Amino acid sequence: HMTETALDDVQLGPIDYLVIEYANGQPTGEALPHLLDLVESGTIRLLDAAIVAKSADGEVSAVDMAQLAELGGGELGLLEGAATGMLDEEDIAQTGDILSAGAVGAILVYENTWAAPFATAVRKAGGQLIANGRIPINAIIAALEAQEEN
């Protein structure tokens, strides 16, 4: 019974990942301060990060974070500390499959720490998450624009 109680005390929010593509292959790093704000405020906890490059002829490779910082990715070097190795070669390959040729992609794996107390309370009450999903932001923007036209 002890393990069950110990598990109940672990506050863990839902874990998400996202992949951001820079089609021109040049992330500027200007979105990074916003990401760091989310981490510092305790909204999310970054569990892993990786940068993937796809050459014009379709070759996929993981980009060394330290190397990226030297290349003038500047603030992208801050992601170096977030790289934990949780993302494996298969994750890199799958990301490569969805990237456009010549693009650079950033993969972020993060815990929604803001939801942890809620998720823990749900578990303690005998509830469990049976479905979740994400609505693509472009679909929402299109729906909102359509609504405004009416």
In this prediction, residue 52 carries a pLDDT of 92
Query: Rounded to an integer, what distance in angstroms lies between the CA atom of residue 21 and that of residue 2?
Result: 45
In this prediction, residue 150 carries a pLDDT of 75
In this prediction, residue 2 carries a pLDDT of 42
In this prediction, residue 10 carries a pLDDT of 65
CB atoms within 10 A of CB 105: 24
In this prediction, residue 75 carries a pLDDT of 59
In this prediction, residue 1 carries a pLDDT of 46
Mean pLDDT by 10 residues, the chain (150 residues): 51 88 79 88 92 93 76 61 86 94 92 91 90 81 87
Alpha helices in the chain (DSSP H): 2-9, 32-40, 65-68, 89-98, 116-124, 137-149
